[in-house]
A and B are shown apart, each in its own frame.
Chain A
Amino acid sequence: MIARAFGLPALRFNGLIGVLVVGLLLLVAVFGPWLAPYDPLKLDLMARFQGPSAAHLLGADEFGRDLLSRLIHGARTSAWIAFATVVFAIVFGTVLGVLAGFLRGWTDRILMMVNDALLAFPGLLLALGFMAVFGASRNGIIVALGIAYMPVAVRVVRGTVLSIREREFVEASRVIGNSGVVTMLRHVLPNCLAPIMVLATTMFGWVVLSESALSFLGLGVPPPAPSWGNMLSTGRPYINQAPYIIILPGLCISITLLGVNLLGDAVRDWLDPKMQD
């Protein structure tokens, strides 16, 4: 209640956990190279399948590479790809959504036609198609997932713009002689920020999941560079021999997704009180 009175979100337990998990992920991602005890690519055949020990806190994988270091660098990969993809999808999605919603007419019709065509594909299918074009690479994933998720942003932003442009303050801005561009940037866009932030948080989770799925399929981050998804894929043949090689990367993905989902719910409750139960 006190937090509410000062206009701050009343962060409930769930939201707090979400903030902590996502905060931790970002810290590990940024400071990863200093935190990791070993080079994630360094082979040590003597240490193959070694369980957790003082030298390798979480054990070593099928090539004797330090698992903890690989998980830390994997966090960096996932966080960077998710961040870049969300920025890509949201920035382009917002620009196109605002254009469609504000200009209306033919611009709107053509943009929405293309957008609906892209929305007619389930997200991962479109991303798979783009990966076929780009080949498995880091930047390829960012562009592929960015294009696959952009239509959702276009739709959300356009919908918001359409409802805002009819409001009195937008009309007032036009009446006092502001140009369309000024009205759009000063009055319409700032009011779209709440739904955009809710979407961006949710999308971060989708991208972490999709990137790990693509990498698991061998169409994402190419080995030997570590990503949580490709660690699951390359470790899969040794699942019985050294289960922790598979258990740990999956736990990392699950904890990250749980954090992002909890944070997403909290952000939505905070910015969009209508959605609260």
Chain B
Amino acid sequence: MVRFLLTRIATAIPTLFLVSVTVFALMRAIPGDPAALMLGDLAQPGQLEALRAEMGLDQPIIVQYLYWLGDVLSGDFGRSIATRQPVLPLMLDRFSVSATIVLVAVFFATLIAVPAGMFAAWRQNRAGDIAVIATSTLLLSIPSFWLGLMLLLIFGLQLGWLPVVGYVPFSRDFGSALLYIILPVVTLVLVESGSITRMARASTIEVARLEYITHARAKGLSEATVMWRHAFKNAFAPTLTLIGLVLGSLLANIAVIETVFTIPGLGRLLVDGIYARDYPVVQGCMLFTAFLYVVVNLLVDLLYPLLDPRVTA
């Protein structure tokens, strides 16, 4: 088991290395001199040279990369050009907002979509199945940002039940935090349950064909026991992979939801950084989000043998 864990973790290291190279290369491909950008228009000629030397921009590109990587590994992501704040605490602060919304949304989406998909598989090709499939295909086709705007229009503006924009941390006021988080979470739950339902249905159908399920039924076990005790365990593993992918990609796609509801999350930090050409922020957010994506997928991999006994540790 320990050996399995260590091998899997070790395979993530080259991926993370390549991710860091890609992010670094992308940032260096942005037109314009970062030092000139930092100084603004009022720079004296000597000042520019000094800052370039200080930032290491006069070094060969590989040396620059190694310096940067060293800084990142020691937790130094540089400072924002716009606000002069260090990037890492800024990102962590914003990340706590995004993570709350994403985790709550994925939790509820799983809670609704997995049973829905299994139910559809159980009623395959009958009315219940067709209703679930139709709903999930419809949900899959609605862009999250538009659904968010529609919910905001109906429940926020027309009915006035929920606050329209903004975010309150749970640590400050639990009640109003809950109110502010409802619309973004419901939007994401609706949108993401479409794909999870379809996956849960497909993998349950796959498993339900296997002989051990027929055997379990032949033993006279009730349908509920067959589905939950026998089908669920094997059907859930592929769905878990998808949930991992959803969780990871939501961290990148969250920017649109944060834009709809004006939430100060990590996605918004990245997009605002792109507008402002605040390249340390953009670089930090991209690296941080990609890192999370790799780690989430790694965790799913590590959970796999626990759920699917056929994958041996």
Does A pair with B?
yes
User: Measuring CB to CB, which residues of chain A are less than 8 angstroms from any residue of chain B?
Assistant: 113-114, 116-118, 120-125, 128-133, 209, 212-213, 216-219, 232, 236, 239-240, 243, 246-247, 249-250, 253-255, 257-258, 261-262, 265, 277
Interface string of B147-189 (1 = CB under 8 A from A): 1011011000100000000000000000000000000000000
Instruction: Tell me which residues across on chain A come within 8 A of B92, comparing CB atoms.
Output: none
Contact residue among A218, A232, A258 (Cβ-Cβ distance under 8 Å from B137): A258
State the Cβ distance, B80 to closest chain A Cβ, in Å: 15
Q: Judging by beta carbons under 8 Å apart, are B19 and A122 in contact?
A: no
Interface string of B111-141 (1 = CB under 8 A from A): 0000000000000100000000000011011
Cβ contacts A to B, 30 pairs, < 8 Å: A113-B18, A117-B19, A120-B15, A120-B290, A121-B286, A121-B293, A122-B248, A122-B249, A123-B252, A124-B249, A125-B293, A128-B286, A130-B26, A131-B274, A132-B27, A132-B279, A133-B29, A213-B145, A217-B259, A218-B275, A219-B274, A239-B153, A240-B157, A246-B149, A250-B142, A253-B146, A257-B143, A258-B137, A261-B140, A277-B205
Give the number of chain B interface residues (Cβ < 8 Å).
50
Instruction: Tell me which residues across on chain B come within 8 A of A253, comparing CB atoms.
Output: 143, 146
Q: Judging by beta carbons under 8 Å apart, are A254 and B26 in contact?
A: no
Interface centre among A118, A212, A277 (most CB of B within 10 A): A277
In the complex formed, the residue of A with least CB distance to B296 is A122
B190 interface residue per 8 A CB criterion: no
Interface centre among B30, B140, B145, B251 (most CB of A within 10 A): B145
- Top 5 nearest A-B pairs (CB, nearest first) are A250-B146, A117-B18, A125-B252, A258-B141, A122-B249
Instruction: Tell me which residues across on chain B come within 8 A of A261, comparing CB atoms.
Output: 137, 140-141
State the Cβ distance, A239 to closest chain B Cβ, in Å: 6
Contacts A129-B286, A240-B153 given; indicate if A121 touches B146 (C-beta within 8 A).
Answer: no
B227 interface residue per 8 A CB criterion: no
Q: Judging by beta carbons under 8 Å apart, are B138 and A258 in contact?
A: yes
Instruction: Tell me which residues across on chain A come within 8 A of B294, comparing CB atoms.
Output: 120
Instruction: Kindly state the separation between the CA atoms of A216 and B270 in the bound complex, as whole angstroms.
Output: 15
Q: Judging by beta carbons under 8 Å apart, are B145 and A216 in contact?
A: yes
B105 interface residue per 8 A CB criterion: no
Residues of B68-104 whose CB lies within 8 A of A: none
Interface residue SS majority, chain A: helix
Contacts A129-B26, A130-B26, A132-B282 given; indicate if A257 touches B141 (C-beta within 8 A).
Answer: yes
In the complex formed, the residue of B with least CB distance to A119 is B15
Q: Judging by beta carbons under 8 Å apart, are A133 and B249 in contact?
A: no
Instruction: Tell me which residues across on chain B come within 8 A of A117, comparing CB atoms.
Output: 15, 18-19, 21-22
Instruction: Kindly state the separation between the CA atoms of A118 and B205 in the bound complex, as whole angstroms.
Output: 32
With contacts A121-B293, A213-B256, A257-B142 known, what are 10 further pairs, Cβ within 8 A? A117-B19, A117-B22, A120-B293, A121-B252, A122-B251, A125-B290, A128-B255, A133-B26, A213-B253, A246-B149
Q: Judging by beta carbons under 8 Å apart, are A125 and B289 in contact?
A: yes
State the Cβ distance, B262 to closest chain A Cβ, in Å: 10
Contact residue among B152, B153, B252 (Cβ-Cβ distance under 8 Å from A124): B252
Instruction: Kindly state the separation between the CA atoms of A159 and B259 in the bound complex, as whole angstroms.
Output: 38
State the Cβ distance, A256 to closest chain B Cβ, in Å: 8
Instruction: Tell me which residues across on chain A come within 8 A of B248, comparing CB atoms.
Output: 122
Instruction: Kindly state the separation between the CA atoms of A62 and B15 in the bound complex, as whole angstroms.
Output: 47
B202 interface residue per 8 A CB criterion: yes
State the Cβ distance, A7 to closest chain B Cβ, in Å: 25
B207 interface residue per 8 A CB criterion: no
B23 interface residue per 8 A CB criterion: yes
Instruction: Kindly state the separation between the CA atoms of A262 and B251 in the bound complex, as whole angstroms.
Output: 27
B57 interface residue per 8 A CB criterion: no
B271 interface residue per 8 A CB criterion: yes
Q: Judging by beta carbons under 8 Å apart, are A212 and B255 in contact?
A: no
In the complex formed, the residue of A with least CB distance to B268 is A217
Q: Judging by beta carbons under 8 Å apart, are B205 and A121 in contact?
A: no
In the complex formed, the residue of A with least CB distance to B255 is A217
Instruction: Kindly state the separation between the CA atoms of A167 and B270 in the bound complex, as whole angstroms.
Output: 48
Instruction: Kindly state the separation between the CA atoms of A250 and B143 in the bound complex, as whole angstroms.
Output: 8
Instruction: Tell me which residues across on chain A come within 8 A of B279, comparing CB atoms.
Output: 132
Instruction: Tell me which residues across on chain B come within 8 A of A257, comparing CB atoms.
Output: 140-143
State the Cβ distance, A16 to closest chain B Cβ, in Å: 15
In the complex formed, the residue of A with least CB distance to B29 is A133
State the Cβ distance, A250 to closest chain B Cβ, in Å: 3
In the complex formed, the residue of A with least CB distance to B293 is A122
Instruction: Tell me which residues across on chain A come within 8 A of B290, comparing CB atoms.
Output: 120-122, 125
Instruction: Tell me which residues across on chain B come within 8 A of A121, comparing CB atoms.
Output: 19, 22, 252, 286, 290, 293
Instruction: Tell me which residues across on chain A come within 8 A of B15, comparing CB atoms.
Output: 116-117, 120
Q: Judging by beta carbons under 8 Å apart, are A132 and B157 in contact?
A: no
Interface string of B267-307 (1 = CB under 8 A from A): 00011001100010010001001100110000000000000
Instruction: Kindly state the separation between the CA atoms of A258 and B140 in the bound complex, as whole angstroms.
Output: 8
